[in-house]
Every structure is written in C-alpha cells, then in structure tokens.
Amino acid sequence: MLLPLFLVSSCSDNLESLNVDNKNATVASAGSFLSNAQKNLAENIHGVAYRATGPSIGKLWAQHLTSVTYLEGSTYVPEFSWAPLYDILKDLDESAKVVTATQTTVATELTEQKNRLAILEIMKVYTWATLVEAYGDIPYSEALDFNNALPKYDDAKTVYTDLISRLSTAIANLDTKGTSFGTADLIYAGNVSNWLKFGNSLKLRMGLRIIDAVPALGAETVAAAASGVFTSNADNARFRYLADYPNTNPWWSFLVRENLKYYVGTNTFVGTLNTLNDPRRAVFFTPIGSEYLGAQYGIVQRYESFSREGALIREPTLPVIFMDYAQVEFLLAEAAERNIASVTNAQTHYNAAIKASFDYYGVGSAAADYLAQPTVNYTTAEGPWQKKIGIQKWIALFDQGFEAWTEYRRLDYPVLQAPAIAESTIVPVRFRYPINEQTLNAGSYATAASAIGGDQYTTRLFWDVK
C-alpha cells in the first residue's frame, strides 16, 4: 500500500505539467491560419444554402437556381449570420500577428514577411468588402476587439473607401522577386505575381462598384488598377478541392454524396440560355429528354421535371472561384463605356470576356458562332451597355452566385422578379442584419438601421445607385 503512495508523491512534484496537452497544438503557424481562412471563405461565399443565411444564398437570389423542395432561401426568409465572415477575418488577423512577431534581419526573410502581410491584407479587403456589399454599415473599426462586446457600426461608404486605400497599399508592398506562404496558400501556392494580379483585379472591381456613388474615386481606382489585372484564365483566383471526402466541394457533398434533390435551373436563366442557344447550358444543366427546362422560381415543384445541375457542377473537385478573367474583361468593357483613362474598345473586352467563359467551361470552339448572333453581338444586341454587359456577365457568373447577385443589383440587369409569396416585394438589394444583433448589440444596431434607411431588403446601399 505504501509503494503506490510513494510513487505518486515522487512523480507529482511538478503538478503544472499535468495541465499540458501533449496531443493538440497550442500554437498555430501563420500559414495554418491563412489556409483555414481561405477554406472557410470559399465555403461561406460559394457553399450550399437553402435558407437566407449568408453570401452563398446568391446562387438562388441571382435566380440561376431555385429550390423545389424547401423554399426559405428562394422566398427570402431571413436567418442571416455574419459570424463566419468575422471568424475568417480573425484568422487572417491572427496570421498577421504571427508574421509580425517573427524576428529576422535576413533580407529575403524580410521580403517574405512583407509579401505575407500584403497577401493577408488582400484577403482581408476581399472579406470586408463582401460584408459591406451585403449589409451596408457594419462593425469595422471595433469589430475584431474581443474585449468590446458592443462594437459600433461604421459608415459603409467610409469603410469601402478605406478598404480601397488598404488594398492599394498591399498591392504596392508586394515584391514579385520574393516568396510568401508556399503551399499553405491554397489559392496561388504562394505565387506573388498571381497575388499582384488578383489585387489589381479586385481593385478594378471595387472601383466600378462605387463609381456611380463616388465617381472621382471610382474612376481613379479603375485607372490605377487596369494595367495590372488578370490576362487569362490561368490567373483566376480559385480554391481547389480534393477528390476524397471531406475535402470535397460542398455542392458535391450535398447533391451527390447525400443525394438531396433540391435545386434545378430557373425558367428565367435556362430560358435565357435557350433563347441565345448558349452551349454552356450543357455544362451548367442536364437535359430533360432533348430539352433544357427551367422551373418557376420560388414554388414547390417536381424535381424530376426540370434540368438539374450538369455533371461538371457535380464534380467533387469543382473549384470555388473568388474572381476570374471573364469578370475582369466584363469590367474593362464597362470601364471603356465609361471613358475611363487608358481603357478603350468595349466590344473587344466584351468579346474576350465571353470567350474566357467559354474556354473555362470547355466550349471555346463555339464562342465565335455565339458572338456572331445578332442577339449577342455587341453592336447589335438589344439595349444600353448595362443590359448587354449585365446579361452576359450574369450568365458567366453562374457558379459565382454572390457576385452575380451583386452585379445584378449594380447594373439592374437582367430584370428579375420576386416570387409572390416572398418576404420582399422585390429581389432583395441587401442582406438584413443578423437577428441576434437586435438583442446582443441593440444600440449599435438601431443606430445603423436608422442610418442606412431601415434594416429592410428594399434599402439600397450607398453604391447601388438606381
């Protein structure tokens, strides 16, 4: 009896060591935080949603798809949460702290640190911009302080202007001769030249997003970015999945692994593809017999009667696109129409955008005939440039729902209607604030709701000038 007592007493002099977890990491690398943030951002913006919870609902609100089973997302029943995006921002912030805390005097390592911080800043700007474009005024200057449980909401225009400034600084800090995150970067594997192009492409997009509300800043931002943007599909910013679950595209997990029969193409979108004889429809959807059939948006219907997502969209390795070359060329076409310095020939950029989309989806050989159609050709297609560019961009952004919805709001094309039983009389032009803000941060919520003109789906954000 005495021997065990002796052994316990002799082995327990350092009781604090018993609290050390030897199996789980207590310190994370800067690259780990970045990888986690990129994966979570991909799935928050481009994941599956059948309720109005966050950016991934854009695929339904752009009316590319409709649910024929559960209608909460298609009829705008609000259940929003911005917590995932703020968690992503916190990961990026922690990564930057780890990078900054690393002490070195070696020139190559200093360059790597600078590149890492610039890449993290580009990711932060992308995420913050998504929040502003979705909600309007948001917690920003006080948002990542865990000691402040009641952060104020900052003015959306002020935040967006600051984000453009931050992005410009990050772009200037990138050194293409140096290294960055290597394989921990799940978008570009640490290629700084690609990040430079992505930063400029994002800057181009942000400049045009605010140009109707802040013309001088918008034009200046576009002109500064235009020469450094994507020049081919090889530059696309994409998050790549693996073939083995659980590291697969969430849409594959939902549609194939779980075999859930929720989504089909809408008659609005599929009908447009049919009218234009668009060969991408065979990539986006499966036929019903020999036809492509879209369902009425926002009502319960028979799944088997309509065209579901095509085989490519149901691949486990389908990448998530953060931004692509096709969108850049559409933006340059718009910049040319707006007579922004150094950008000319809208038709050339418009044609390049459509060709890029066709190439990406494996139907590039059909692009010339498609562009020759009077309903597609830039000189003969119906309507103002906003309609010509807007409709073709809407098609090209098929697998980028949040962007498709956002550009619909900005360009006002195509013309979309809310379903009769929806929570809004129009297709929403913003997200409503998360419901828990009304109780957990009531004062700041009330001030922000009043400042933007009401926490409603119909409240246009500062950049969305009709």
Q: pLDDT digit string (tens) for 4-48?
A: 444 444 455 555 655 655 555 557 899 999 999 999 999 999 988
- pLDDT 10s digits, 80-92: 999 999 999 999 9
d(CA 66, CA 73): 9
The range of the structural domain enclosing residue 162 comes to 30-245+317-452
- pLDDT 10s digits, 240-272: 999 999 999 999 999 999 999 999 999 999 999
Q: Does residue 463 form part of some domain?
A: no
Give the global pTM: 0.94
CATH number at residue 199: 1.25.40.390
The tokens describing 13, both together, are 């002099």
Q: Does residue 51 form part of some domain?
A: yes
Residue segments in the chain with a per-residue pLDDT below the cut of 50: 2, 4-10
Q: Does residue 95 form part of some domain?
A: yes
Residue 466: the pLDDT is 83
Residue 22: the pLDDT is 56
Q: Does residue 356 form part of some domain?
A: yes
Positive or negative, the CA dihedral 171, 174, 179, 184 is negative
Classify 178 in phi/psi space as left (phi over 0), alpha (psi -120 to 50) or beta.
beta
Residue 5: the pLDDT is 47
- Phi and psi at 108, nearest 5°, equal -65, -35
Cα separations in angstroms, 93 against 74, 86, 193, 436, 439? 34, 10, 23, 24, 27
User: Into how many domains does the chain fold?
Assistant: 1
Residue 82: the pLDDT is 97
d(CA 402, CA 83): 17
d(CA 233, CA 318): 15
Residue 7: the pLDDT is 47
Q: What percent of the chain has pLDDT over 90?
A: 92
- CA 271 from centre of chain: 26
Positive or negative, the CA dihedral 133, 138, 142, 147 is negative
Q: Does residue 168 form part of some domain?
A: yes
